[in-house]
Amino acid sequence: MTAAKPQRSAKAPRRAVAAAERTRQPTEVRRRLIVEAAVPLIAERGYASVGVRDVAAAAGVSVGTVTYHFGSVQEILSEAMVLHIERYYQELSEAAEQAGSGAEALRLLVDALFTEDTDRHWRMWFDYWHAGEPATDEAFARGQAERYAAWHRQIRALAERGVADGDFSSDDLDGFTVRFAALADGLALQRLRQSPPLSTQDARCHLYSLVETELTARTDHD
């Protein structure tokens, strides 16, 4: 007579793991994914036409996830613009650093500001600039001011390099910086609205003219 085989104890049923638990990510990673998804939406539709549901769908998350991480679409816009601007100007900075002179670096900046692909950047920039109301959202307005200050610093640094390299002579680099930024903004707005029509090459030529007028080229006898 054979001994009876011991019975195996029944295994406890495995608990199903919720999808949210399987894909749980650090807060900063989830915020970044949402912002990454928002950038092309804002570029294509404009800030005013993008809602929380649009961002959630693009990011592949629930509306609740978006509202958990962000207080408003405006907050998403702010971070999306910071991300976009950092990438955009990082490329400009890298190109300028490889230039052989300050004059060449400034020319590369002008060329990069107006191409067939930069209309998207300028559209996002104006959306961002008009989105904040200092009286109601001080943090947003402060972020805008920081973005513009960084842009001014970049322009001035290139002009300073040109003076240091002996390419230019200027007694008012601060004034040049303000006028360069203002003209670039004005040309970009005209370029987007095409009223009157403005080509990318003509926009560049106007900025070249400003540089030539404001930053006097040094001669051998200076």
Per the domain annotation, does 65 fall within a domain? no
> What pLDDT does residue 206 have?
97
The number of distinct structural domains making up the chain is 1
> What pLDDT does residue 221 have?
41
How crowded is the C-beta side of 185, counted as CA atoms within 13 Å? 13
Full residue range of the structural domain in which residue 140 is found: 82-217
**Ordered DSSP codes for 3-63:** PPPPPPPPPPPPPPPPHHHHT---HHHHHHHHHHHHHHHHHHH-GGG--HHHHHHHHTS-H
> What pLDDT does residue 76 have?
86
Cα–Cα distance, 145 to 211 (Å, whole number)? 25
> What pLDDT does residue 90 have?
80
Series of mean pLDDT values for 10-residue runs along the chain (222 residues): 46 40 66 90 83 92 92 82 79 79 90 86 80 62 81 92 92 96 95 93 96 75 44
> What pLDDT does residue 134 have?
54
Residue matched to tokens 């040094």: 218
> What pLDDT does residue 137 have?
65
Per the domain annotation, does 45 fall within a domain? no
Per the domain annotation, does 53 fall within a domain? no
Per the domain annotation, does 63 fall within a domain? no
> What pLDDT does residue 55 have?
92
For the purposes of burial, counting CB atoms within 10 Å of the CB of 34, is it exposed (0-12), middle (13-18) or buried (19 or more)?
buried
For the whole model, what pTM was predicted? 0.72
Cα–Cα distance, 106 to 99 (Å, whole number)? 9
Q: What's 182's domain CATH number?
A: 1.10.357.10
